[in-house]
Amino acid sequence: MKRKTTPSQLLWLIAIFFVAVNLRPIITSIGPLFNVLLDELPSTNTKVSLLTSIPVFCMGLFAPLAFPLTRKFPTIIMPMLLAMIAIATILRAILPTYSILLLTSFIAGTAIAIIGPIMNARIKAQFKERTASALGVYSFGIGVGATLSASFSFAIYEQTSWSIALGSWGVLGIIAVVLWVAIAGEETLTQIAPQETARNPWRQKEAWLILLFFGLQTALFFSFMTWLSPLAVAQGFSLQEAGYLLMAFSAIQMLGNLAIPWLVERYFTPIIWLTFLSSLTLIGLLLFALTSGVWLWLGVLLIGLMLSGLFPLGLLLPLNAAKNDTEANTWSSMVLSGGFMLSAILPLLIGLVIDQTNQPSLAYVIFGSIIIIMQLIIWALSRTTKGFNS
């Protein structure tokens, strides 16, 4: 019989949600202003793509620091990291140069990197019986932050400037610091510090497959957030219309972030869901690339909804594969570290390809290839992992 959610768990869900809201705006606010930054900096597709690739790469590179830093600074680590994100974001409004954009991308990416494994471990320990649902709240928070920044950055730019549009999201970090201190207090991750014997994930085929899957699905998310607006403009959309398309893409993800993990806990197996979601993502891509009007919009909504389900499933895979809390920590750290570094390549690759060929349509070929590779990995996981099919 499942235990009921206690008030303390509800408070933790609130804290988790507001932390999650801050993990994407510094990245996803770039997409709707991509063409604006090209003109006003001025810059190239490759250089603007770096503003999303650098924080994502940092999210992978510095993820292994999460638990050493947590053991060293158990009571202040989370407020400190949230403050780093807030300060880095606000600096974009104060010092509007490309160099500052690069520096703040690095600072925020480092903080986000360390937060990721900490939150995964917290969720695994605090919500042992409802891990998927708690991850759904976490993913929902990420989706809310991404949606807000993707939806309103261009509108803020129209009323103010691109620097204020990018920097205004630092307010979310200030709110998160206050709420975390109020809710968490001194209760930190000390009770879930690694203690048990654990398999080394770097020597496990299953862990590598999960890493590759997580990296590719995350690469798709960040690439669509970065390139959806420019690709829509290349198809004839105005900047405002492309902004609405990106807003719809982001908004639909909030539904999937909550609904799909809930459904996964109750119906079918993870392998069925992964196969289903990745297949519909491919169909959505074809609609976006080859159609117009209502069908194009349907394709974008389909991509957004499916990717919103793939992300929490990607977070869930290492937790399900883990045999204890220590493995949950180490496997999640490996998957997040390697996965995010892998995912940082795709937005930059698309920028390089478009700069060199002046053919935006090649982005669709890259997207389709990634989805097919993901489906091959899902097939390999289904043959490797017994628990993956149950």
Query: pLDDT per residue over 212-242, tens digit each?
Result: 999 999 999 989 988 999 999 999 999 889 9
Residues of the chain under the 70 pLDDT cut: 1-7, 185-196, 385-390
**Residues sharing a CB contact under 8 Å with residue 39, sequence separation 6 or more, in sequence order:** none
* Helix 345-357 × helix 325-343 angle, to 10°: 10
In the prediction, which pLDDT does 386 show?
Answer: 54
| HSE-CB for 32 with a 13 A CA cutoff | 32
At the fourth CATH level, the homologous superfamily of domain 7-191+201-389 is: MFS general substrate transporter like domains (1.20.1250.20)
Alpha carbon distance 306, 373 (integer Å): 16
Burial class (CB in 10 A: 0-12, 13-18, 19+), 349: middle
Domain ranges of the chain: 7-191+201-389
**Are 20 and 141 contacting, i.e. CB atoms less than 8 angstroms apart?**
yes
Alpha carbon distance 30, 225 (integer Å): 8
Alpha carbon distance 353, 276 (integer Å): 30
Closest CA to 367 of 221, 209, 214, 215: 221
Q: Scan for tokens 């990291």, then name that residue.
A: 81
- Three-class DSSP labels, the chain: CCCCCCHHHHHHHHHHHHHHHCCCHHHHCCHHHHHHHHHHCCCCHHHHHHHHHHHHHHHHHCHHHHHHHHHHCCCCHHHHHHHHHHHHHHHHHHCCCHHHHHHHHHHHHHHHHHHHHHHHHHHHHHCCCCHHHHHHHHHHHHHHHHHHHHHHHHHHHHHCCHHHHHHCCHHHHHHHHHHHHHHHCCCCHHHHCCCCCCCCHHHCHHHHHHHHHHHHHHHHHHHHHHHHHHHHHHCCCCHHHHHHHHHHHHHHHHHHHHHHHHHHHHCCCHHHHHHHHHHHHHHHHHHHHHCCHHHHHHHHHHHHHHHHHHHHHHHHHHHHHCCCHHHHHHHHHHHHHHHHHHHCHHHHHHHHHHHHHCCCCHHHHHHHHHHHHHHHHHHHHHHHCCHHHC
**Residues sharing a CB contact under 8 Å with residue 284, sequence separation 6 or more, in sequence order:** 298, 299, 300, 301, 302, 303, 306
In the prediction, which pLDDT does 196 show?
Answer: 64
